[in-house]
Chain A
Amino acid sequence: MLRWIASALDSSVGKKILMGLTGILLVLFLLEHLAGNLFLYVPGGEEAFGPFDAYVDFFPRFGPLLPVAEVALGLLFAVHALYAIRITLANREARPTKYVVRNDRGAKTIGSASMILTGLALLAFLVVHLLDFRFDAGFHGDHGRTVAAKLARPGRALFYLAIMAVLGVHLSHGAQSALQSLGIHHPRWTRFLRGLGIAVAVFFAVGFASFPIYYLFFWTAGGAH
């Protein structure tokens, strides 16, 4: 069984399928993450960040399942990133002598050409991001307010904004690419699916970017929101 999986994943197509799968799962995670973060916008009456805090505090109820899920999520990122790097390195080797002149025919996009760069940027972001919240004592004291306060700092906010643009670029190729990698392709749907990929990218980029924008420009530390 293990040998079978290993050999399957060692093949080029196996790697692609794995990239596609992990990519889609990451998108699903983002969906959940964005939905959760939207609680930040839900007015909480008395408690300024009541709904969001409640959402964050809900997780420990999963008990031992939570660390399991977190490790799984970590693995997801790790596998995705690791295979991304392996694939990129393998592809470099596949063309030892470069072309003197190189001219694409316009099929390649900024997104597809920069996957490894945007991916690595996301990886770097994750480190900062986890230190910001997941491993931040302040956050574990006062969830919502810490988020707001951190994102209200111009430096942080700009950094987050930049990364959300990067995320958009990554997904502009990644979303439809994952479908192709998993074998989902039909002439009738292709244009629609490629459009949908862009829509997904914009959706996440804008959705996440709204937080730093909001807290930077429209939020005062004393206010309710």
Chain B
Amino acid sequence: MSGSGGGKTMRITLKIWRQASRDAGGQIATYHLDEVSPDMSFLEMLDVLNEKLIEAGGDPVAFDHDCREGICGACSQVIDGQAHGPERSTTVCQLHMRHYSDGATIYVEPWRARAFPVLKDLVVDRGALDRIQAAGGFISVHTGSVPEASAILVQKEDSDRAMDAAACIGCGACVAACPNSAAMLFVGAKLAHLSLLPQGAVERDRRVLAMVRAMDAEGFGICSNHYECEAACPKEISVETIARMNRQYLAALLRERPSRAPA
């Protein structure tokens, strides 16, 4: 009835990456949990583990999380080798234990990429994504200096597609899942969102050049079209956004005028 659990509990073995700090080495540690309810979310299961660890005088597992409803993009764990775990279009915080069977062994690791250094256990630094945004992920309007909202008509299809791309939660799973640690899906999504709208099309060239430059400076890998990012993305962002970025980049390069500023 209420939930599938009906009072049953499971035994789970966890193999979790533990790393004390950014510069420390890390290793997998093993934990056993006896009374895992199938109705628990994955993070609630980790909460239970942490309570146990604290009570026993140990160090709880650090992991990023906040909204626990799949929208803030904070949670970030590679579970059994898959970013956000086995369920499609589901963040870790929305993953429930009923997808595991009694006696399962589960590996939990942080996002891994040079651009995302581990800060502690499962917590990584994703500041790189913010810096890419700061380089060009915006439409340059001042507060107040804008036209009436309906003065700019937007085709419904364009607006819907912009929304598809704008749904990105900035979690970085695309990077974690990409065999090359490339951030192209994240960047492609932002570029697609902004350039599909007439408001954002104005500074399209500048934006793509700046964001790609910023992305490269962070040490992400280079896409070779494995499409694993799309498969891992909890918001099902399409790799079409990457193609669009490539196209825009090429167009921007060709249109770019030599700068007249003195060298």
A–B in direct contact per CB < 8 Å? yes
Q: Tell me the A residues contacting B by CB distance below 8 Å.
A: 4, 8, 11-17, 19-20, 87, 90-91, 93-108, 112-113, 115, 173, 176-177, 180-187, 190
A17 to B225, CA, bound (A): 12
Q: Are B240 and A99 in contact (CB under 8 A)?
A: no
Looking at the assembled complex, report how far the CB atom of B157 sits from the nearest CB atom of chain A, in whole angstroms.
12
Contact residue among A4, A13, A108, A183 (Cβ-Cβ distance under 8 Å from B179): A108
Partner of A182, one of B15, B114, B250: B250
Bound CA–CA A12/B224 (angstroms): 10
Whether A13 lies near B212 (C-beta < 8 A) is yes
Q: Which residues of B contact A97 (CB under 8 A)?
A: 26, 112, 118
Q: Do the beta carbons of B245 and A13 come within 8 Å of each other?
A: yes
**With A87-B224, A107-B231, A181-B246 given, is the CB distance from A11 to B238 under 8 Å?**
no
Question: Taking the nearest CB of chain A, how far is it from the CB of B120, in angstroms?
Answer: 14
- Distance of A93 Cα from B113 Cα, bound (Å): 9
**CB of B63 closer than 8 Å to a CB of A:** no
Residues 197-235 (chain B) with a chain A CB within 8 angstroms: 212-213, 215-216, 219-228, 230-232
- CB <8 Å contact, A8 and B253: yes
Tell me which of B31-39, B76-84, B90-98, B137-145 binds A: B76-84
A181 to B232, CA, bound (A): 20
Q: A8-B253, A100-B28 are in contact. Are A107 and B228 (CB under 8 A)?
A: yes
Contacts of A104 on B, CB cut-off 8 Å? 81, 179, 228, 231
Among A4, A96, A101, A190, the residue within 8 A (CB) of B109 is: A101
- Pick from B180, B227, B250: contact of A183, CB under 8 Å: B250
Q: In the complex the two chains form, what is the Cα distance from A55 to B254 in whole Å?
A: 39
Within 8 A of A (CB), among B236-263: 238-240, 242-250, 253, 256, 258
CA distance A11 to B239 in the complex (A): 19
Complex: how many Å from CA A91 to CA B243?
19
Known: A94-B220, A99-B81, A180-B225. A185 touches B239 (CB 8 A): yes
Q: Report if B42 contacts A (CB, 8 A).
A: no
Q: Is the CB of A90 within 8 A of B221?
A: yes
Find chain A residues with CB under 8 A from B245 CB: 13, 183
Q: Is B115 an interface residue (CB 8 A)?
A: yes
Within the complex, the shortest CB–CB distance from B91 to chain A, in Å, comes to 15
Which residues of B are found within 8 Å of A105, using beta-carbon distances? 82, 88, 177, 228, 231-232
On whether the beta carbons of B223 and A12 are closer than 8 Å, the reply is yes
Cα(A101)–Cα(B256), bound, Å: 44
Nearest chain A CB to B231 CB, angstrom units: 4
Contacts of B182 in A (CB 8 A): 12, 91, 94
B195 an interface residue at 8 Å Cβ cutoff?
no
